[in-house]
């Protein structure tokens, strides 16, 4: 299964489309496509990429945008605790 991975390096944050592959008992990731640095994209361009990928997967973007999103909790990585709002 392919998914989007954000990888932080000293030179910047990179976006990659990767897939998980099992090799014996070990699971590795194959890079399918390298999207480059996050800093090279505007927020609007990243949103457009997300919409296009969703549509390519058979999703209807209007149905997705019509859903009401409710935040049920937020993970705080600094203290490894779930913050319930």
Under 8 Å between Cβ of 15 and 6 = yes
Per the structure, the count of domains in the chain is 1
DSSP string, 16-79: EEEEEEEETTEEEEEEEEEEEEGGGS-HHHHHHHHHHHHHHTT--HHHHHHSPP----EEETTT
Q: Are 30 and 17 in contact (CB under 8 A)?
A: no
pTM of the full structure: 0.61
pLDDT of 47-58, one tens digit each? 898 888 888 888
Q: Domain containing 22: what range? A: 2-83
74 — pLDDT class (breaks 50, 70, 90)? low
Strand partners, 34: 16
């Amino acid at each position: 299964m392919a998914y989007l991975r954000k990888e932080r390096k000293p030179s910047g944050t990179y976006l990659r489309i990767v897939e998980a592959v099992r090799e014996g008992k070990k699971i590795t990731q194959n890079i399918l496509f390298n999207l480059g640095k996050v800093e090279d994209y505007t927020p609007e361009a990243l949103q457009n990429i997300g919409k296009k990928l969703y549509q390519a997967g058979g999703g209807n973007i209007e149905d997705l945008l019509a859903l009401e999103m409710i935040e049920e909790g937020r993970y705080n990585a600094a203290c490894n605790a779930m913050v319930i709002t």
